[in-house]
């Protein structure tokens, strides 16, 4: 059973058709939209500030979502995939974004829509990632403009697959 805890009486809330892995941890002021999934060993801590996630957001295995006490909230739009072992901290991620495995996005960064953050990239504090781009490296820099087929072939495909994967497990927990 997942660990779902309140902080000062504020419990996480989830939309319809969400899957939460049995060893995920979600605490405090966390709101997830519909068709979301939180996978094995993921940690979402809304203990020091709020975390808001739109519809069809998947937080993959080992990812950490957090914020900074009384300074930065974390906001994820719709159709966002956060890859395995990524760290999302006090930033804003707009709709239709793929965050690669092991990527880090720091406080006050903004990732605009239809963007891919490559695996292992580090988006530094305050960085603005322009829409329709791929960012890679340490620190992350724009490496190219994303093609329309990558939006559907990567960003949408992965988000849709995670809705399907959640269906495989939902009745077992």
d(CA 37, CA 49): 21
For residue 144, the model assigns a pLDDT of 95
CATH number at residue 37: 2.160.10.10
* Domain tally, the chain: 1
Residue span of the structural domain in which 8 resides: 3-170
d(CA 59, CA 42): 7
Question: How would you write the pLDDT of the chain (173 residues) with one tens digit per residue?
Answer: 999 999 999 999 999 999 999 999 999 999 999 999 999 999 999 999 999 999 999 999 999 999 999 999 999 999 999 999 999 999 999 999 999 999 999 999 999 999 999 999 999 999 999 999 999 999 999 999 998 888 888 999 999 999 999 999 987 86
Residue carrying the six token digits 């902080």: 7
For residue 126, the model assigns a pLDDT of 98
d(CA 98, CA 17): 21
Q: β-pairing, 122-123 with 141-145?
A: unpaired
Residue carrying the six token digits 């719709």: 78
Sign, CA dihedral 35-36-40-46, equals negative
């Amino acid at each position: 059973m997942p660990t779902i805890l309140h902080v000062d009486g504020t419990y996480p809330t989830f939309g319809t058709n969400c899957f939460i892995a049995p060893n995920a941890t979600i605490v405090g002021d966390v709101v997830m939209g519909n068709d979301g999934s939180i996978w094995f060993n993921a940690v979402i801590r809304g203990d020091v500030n709020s975390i808001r996630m739109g519809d069809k957001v998947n937080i993959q295995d080992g990812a950490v979502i957090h914020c900074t006490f009384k300074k930065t909230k974390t906001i994820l739009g719709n159709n966002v995939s956060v890859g395995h072992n990524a760290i999302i901290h006090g930033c804003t991620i707009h709709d239709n974004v793929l965050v690669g495995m092991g990527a880090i996005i720091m406080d006050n960064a903004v990732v605009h829509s239809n963007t891919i953050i490559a695996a292992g990239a580090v988006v530094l504090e305050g960085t603005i990632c322009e829409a329709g781009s791929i960012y890679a490296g340490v620190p992350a820099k724009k490496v190219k403009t994303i093609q329309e087929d990558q939006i559907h072939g990567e960003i949408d495909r992965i988000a849709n697959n995670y809705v399907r994967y959640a269906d495989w497990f939902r009745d077992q927990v």
